[in-house]
Amino acid sequence: MSQRSDPLERVLRAQQRFSTASLETPSETIQRVGWAQPALSACLRAAVELKLFEKLTSVPKSSDSLANEVGASPLLIARILRHLNAEDVVAEPEPDTFVAHLTQALTEPRYSQGMVYTYDVAGLSFRQLPAYLKKTDYEMPTKLEDGPFQFAHNSKVPFWVWLAENDYLDAFNAYMAGYRQGKPVWTQDGFYPVTKRLLSNKTSDDEVLLVDVGGGMGHDLAHFKSEFSQAPGRLVLQERPEVVDSLKTLPGGIEAQKHDFFTEQPVQGARAYYLHSVLHDWDDESCIKILQQLRPAIKAGHSKLLVNELIIPDKEAHWSATSMDFLMMVLGGIRERTEAEWRRLIEKASFKVEGIWTFEPGAESIIEAS
């Protein structure tokens, strides 16, 4: 699957989306949104469960043959494949004969399991959102343990607790890996100037260069290490004990440390403390508490706070940012923030915003503070 980082490609994709929407009649829009897209999601979910995509190759196969391989009704498989072809997921070179198209990517766990997570977990939450809003007289959801997610899934625990209790944690982790595939990386050219902003101050090999707070499986630090392998200083990944215990391997030069970011930061005087997609999971009060735990560790004139998050623009927001904002709503009663909201939040935690770097519309931004 393409990395999709070329600027011209991004412009052409935006124009294609606009052209599709502007050329549709109202009836066609209702058909697409009302049942074509839900049917696509359902077909993809069923195909993943049947491992249908693993059976599709560059060699044409009939729906009967594929149905036999996956053990399903031939007519059902034919109908699923017809819609997947109509949506350009598979190709149909001859009548009732299909070959792989986008389906090679859907054999990878980061995409196939991502489909499981988005349909089973997030999808149900979205489908029940109107009923939840009506029930609450259209109040803004703000409660982590009593919001659209709990209403949809008949639960009383936060969604990440529910994931672990219902065997969806692996699917969620796979989804996150797939979600970040092809997206701009904060260290790449044209995004945040790492060399100028982080590496200009001399850091010894014994000192900590970068602390990834709540850094998950260490993907960001691994990428940083590959891009700046000669940079002096230690790289520290901090995560909950169960996450650290689950780590099988980390690239050389990356240390894993068990840490709760609601407690005081144990690493003092690092060059940078980096939080990627951490704060958007929490309300303002919790975010301020998280940031305040970092404040005592900051070395004046040396340390930086780096927040990697979506920023909703004041006008003409990109669909990927607005849809992520709604995903945050249905999962945790939380939201993505505007630039003004981010500035207020960071300043309330006794930091000063030094600059904001954004690579492209709809992508994440780096907020640097001190």
**Could you give the residue numbers annotated as active site?**
280, 309, 336
- Assigned token pair, 316: 């003409």
Q: Is 47 left (phi over 0), alpha (psi -120 to 50) or beta?
A: alpha
CA distance 175 to 110: 5
Q: How many CB atoms lie within 10 A of CB 257?
A: 15
The DSSP output letter for 299 is P
Determine contact, residues 233/271, Cβ cutoff 8 Å: yes
Q: How many CB atoms lie within 10 A of CB 94?
A: 9
Residue 51 to residues 29, 46, 79, 242, Cα–Cα distance (Å) = 31, 9, 16, 30
- Helical packing angle, 37-50 and 74-86, nearest 10°: 130
Element (H, E) at 364: strand 364-369
- The per-residue b/e assignment along 220-251, b for 16 or more CB within 10 angstroms, e otherwise, is bbbbbbeebeebebbbbbbbeeebbeeeeebe
- Assigned token pair, 80: 């699923």
Residues in a beta bridge with 239: 258
Determine contact, residues 236/270, Cβ cutoff 8 Å: yes
Question: Would you list the DSSP string of 227-260?
Answer: HSTT--SEEEEEE-HHHHHH-----TTEEEEE--
**Residues shown for the chain:** 370
CA dihedral for 187, 252, 112, 92, sign (positive or negative): positive
CA distance 271 to 232: 11
- Helical packing angle, 74-86 and 63-70, nearest 10°: 120
